[in-house]
Amino acid sequence: MPVLKSKYIKDDIFKIIVENIPLPCVDMIAVRKVAKKYEIGIVIRKTGPEKDKYAIVGGIVRKGETIIQAMKRHLEDDLGLTSFEFIACDEFHPFFLQRYYHSEKAVDNSHGYDPTKDALTPIYLIKLTGTPKPKKQASNFIWISEKEIPSPKKTGYQTGISMKAAFKYLKSLPLALNEVL
């Protein structure tokens, strides 16, 4: 099925949608293993209200896109890659479901904050195929250990919550799955 392009929505209509409905999004956390320790890949945002903050790759799922198509589009847009492998999850079973709120007042230690919209976001652990080359919304891509998770003030969209969840989940995997990395 071909991916349908989003149609232009007038600003006033889009504002009503954003104020009343969480948008479907998808996020990915790249994972690798170095010296028997996990590292996750994060980006530094180049654009938007969370510019210069650390974040994970992802964004809106467009009408007509599958989750995998949206993942590939965001990977291509931000890292110049379209190939990846799922780690201990699949398209229908993300490792984590993150709720991002448009209002900082609704945020606690288990929910994210997005200054542009409310979003309901499945998050997937992936193994990248190829070397990331940051572009568009990403100015840099780095690998970090669990001890290097940036402070909440330095992470965009409060993605530190997802980063911590990723390390916790990875440590709980059976040994056989650990060998995939």
Of 3.40.50.720, 1.10.10.10, 3.20.20.150, 3.90.79.10, the CATH number of 18-174 is: 3.90.79.10
Three-state DSSP class for 171?
helix
Per-residue pLDDT in tens (0 to 9) along the chain, 181 residues = 334 344 567 778 877 887 888 889 999 999 999 988 999 999 999 988 889 999 999 998 988 999 999 999 999 999 999 899 999 889 999 998 888 776 665 555 556 666 677 788 999 999 999 999 999 989 999 999 999 999 888 887 788 889 999 999 998 887 655 565 6
Domain boundaries, the chain: 18-174
For residue 77, count other CB atoms closer than 10 A to its CB: 14
Closest among 129, 103, 175 to 31, alpha carbons compared: 129
